[in-house]
Amino acid sequence: MANAIKIEDFGDITYNPFESDELNFGNTLDPYPLIAQWRSEASVLEGDYRTKMGLVSAFYPPERKVFTVVGTSEILETLTDMDRFSNEGYKFNIGRTFGEGSISTMDNPEHGRWRKIFQKIFLPQNVKPWGEAIVDPIIKDLMDKFIPRGQADLIEEFTILYPFAIIYKQLNLPTEDIRTFQRLAIGQTDYMNADKAIEAGRKQGEYFAQLVEERRRNPGDDLVSLLANTEVDGDYLPDLVLVSFLRQLMNAAGDTTYRGTSILLTSLLNNPDQFDAIRTDHSLIPAAIEEALRWDGPVMVQMRMAKKDVVLGGVEIPAGSLLDVVAGAANRDPMIFPDPDKFDIFRERKPHFSFSRGPHICVGQHLARVEMTRALLAVMEKLPNLRFDADRPRPEIRGAMMRVPRHLYVRFGD
C-alpha cells in the first residue's frame, strides 16, 4: 500500500537546511586569486582546503594529515590513479549521511560493479528524451507562476526548484511531500549541523528501504521500480547500495544543477553580448553551458585518500592522508585556459574539471546538460527582454566549497 509509507520531516520543523549553505560551503565572493597564489607556490600544499579558505574544518579525523592539490597534472593524477588514491575519504562526510553503500565512497572493483548499473539510466541517449517529456513541463509550470508579474527571483522561484522536481517525478514520489523531501535532501549535506545531516539521511534511508520493498511487489515505470527490480548475478541490487544511491540522487540531482543553472544565467546576464549571440544562434548553447561550468563550476573540491605512501608534485604524502583536490584550480589554470578568469563562450573548447575526472566522474552529467539546455531555452523563449532588476541587488556568486548566487532578481517583458 503506497499510502502506508510516509516521509517524516525534521523533528525540529523550524530548522531550515538552506540557511546552512554559507556555514557549510562558505561565503567567499572570489576564491580564485587565493587559489592562483597557492598554485604559484606549489602544486600540492600541506593543510586542508577549508581551513585555508577560512572555513571551519570539521570533516576529517584530527590525526590524519591533509593536503590540498592545486596543480592540474597532480589533480588529474589523484582523480584517475585508483591504485594510489582511494575514495574512502568520503566516508567521513557523504558516507555518514548518504549511507555506507554510496558509490562515492567505494573503490574498484566494488565501485565499477554498481556504478555501471546506475550509469546506464543516465546515458545521453536515455536522458535526452527526458528534455521534452519531463523537463519542459516542469519548467513551464514553474515559470507560469511568475511570468504574469514581469519580475522574479530566478533562484527562489525557478533554479532551486526545477532539477529537484525532475528527479522527484522520475522516482514517482508523492507530490504533496516534495518540500519535505527537498528539505531532507539538502539537509543531508549540512555537515556543520551533523545531527541534522544524520537525521535527514536516516529518515530518507528508512523511507526508501520500505519503498524499494513496495515497488518490488508493485512495480511501476519509475526509476525506483527499475532499480529495485534490477538483478545482478541472479540477485537484486543490495539494499545498502540501492538505498544509498537513492539518498545520494535526491541531493546530487537537485543541488548541483540548481547551482550550475544559476551560475550560467548570472554569467550570461553579466555578459549581454554573449547572451545575444546565443539568442541569435542556439547552436552556441552547449558552448555556453560548458564555459559556465568551467568558469565557475558548482563543486570546487573532490576528496581522496592516499592508499599508500606516495610522492605527489614532489611532496611526500603518507598512506592514509586525505587530499582536497581542487577542481576549481584546474578550471582556471592559465596554461590550459588562457585568460582563465574571463567568461568567454567563444574560447577554444577543452574539457573542464567540473564533473570531476576518472572513474567517479559525475553519473548525472548528461542529465545536467539536458536540464541546463532546456532551462536556458525556456528563459530565452518565455522571458523576453530579460535584464537585472535595477531596484534589487545584483547577484553575487559565492562559496568556497560549493558556488552559487543566493538571488537572481530579474525583470522581463516591457
- CA Rg, the chain, in Å? 21
Pairing between β-strand 322-326 and β-strand 66-69 as defined by DSSP bridges = parallel
Figure out which of the listed residues 93, 97, 244, 354 binds ligand HEM, where binding follows CB under 6 A.
Answer: 354
Q: What strand order describes the sheet that includes 151-153?
A: 151-153, 409-411, 387-388
Of 197 and 264, nearer to ligand HEM (C-beta) is 264
Of 332 and 411, nearer to ligand HEM (C-beta) is 332
Q: Is the dihedral of CA 120, 122, 128, 134 positive or negative?
A: positive
Figure out which of the listed residues 205, 298, 399, 405 binds ligand HEM, where binding follows CB under 6 A.
Answer: 298
Decide if residue 368 touches ligand HEM (CB under 6 A): yes
Q: Given the C-alpha cell 537513492, which residue does it identify?
A: 246
Q: How near is the Cβ of 380 to ligand HEM at its closest, in Å?
A: 19
Of 52 and 259, nearer to ligand HEM (C-beta) is 259
Figure out which of the listed residues 356, 395, 398, 403 binds ligand HEM, where binding follows CB under 6 A.
Answer: 356
Figure out which of the listed residues 243, 253, 312, 323 binds ligand HEM, where binding follows CB under 6 A.
Answer: 253
Figure out which of the listed residues 20, 204, 257, 262 binds ligand HEM, where binding follows CB under 6 A.
Answer: 257
Secondary structure (DSSP) of 275-322: HHHHHH-GGGHHHHHHHHHHHT-SB-EEEEEESS-EEETTEEE-TT-E
Decide if residue 101 touches ligand HEM (CB under 6 A): no
Of 70 and 363, nearer to ligand HEM (C-beta) is 363
Q: Given the C-alpha cell 507560469, which residue does it identify?
A: 144
Decide if residue 340 touches ligand HEM (CB under 6 A): no
| Dist CA 226 CA 335 (whole Å) | 45
Residue closest to ligand HEM when measured from CB atoms: 364
Q: Which of 324, 330, 323 is nearest to 293 (CA)?
A: 330
Q: How near is the Cβ of 143 to ligand HEM at its closest, in Å?
A: 20
- Cell numbers standing for residue 313: 608534485
Strand-pair partners of 151? 411
Figure out which of the listed residues 186, 317, 367, 397 binds ligand HEM, where binding follows CB under 6 A.
Answer: 367
Of 43 and 256, nearer to ligand HEM (C-beta) is 256
Q: Is the dihedral of CA 40, 271, 162, 293 positive or negative?
A: negative
Of 184 and 412, nearer to ligand HEM (C-beta) is 184
Figure out which of the listed residues 69, 246, 299, 312 binds ligand HEM, where binding follows CB under 6 A.
Answer: 299
Q: How near is the Cβ of 55 to ligand HEM at its closest, in Å?
A: 18
User: Which range touches ligand HEM (CB under 6 A), out of 61-69, 178-186, 208-216, 353-361?
Assistant: 353-361
The answer for 137, left when phi > 0, alpha when psi is -120 to 50, beta otherwise, is: alpha
Q: Which of 150, 141, 192 is nearest to 169 (CA)?
A: 141
Cβ count near 198 (within 10 Å):
16
Decide if residue 362 touches ligand HEM (CB under 6 A): yes
The answer for 177, left when phi > 0, alpha when psi is -120 to 50, beta otherwise, is: alpha
Decide if residue 197 touches ligand HEM (CB under 6 A): no
Of 243 and 412, nearer to ligand HEM (C-beta) is 243
List residues near ligand HEM by CB under 6 A: 103-104, 115, 122, 248-249, 252-253, 256-257, 260, 297-299, 302, 354-356, 360, 362-364, 367-368
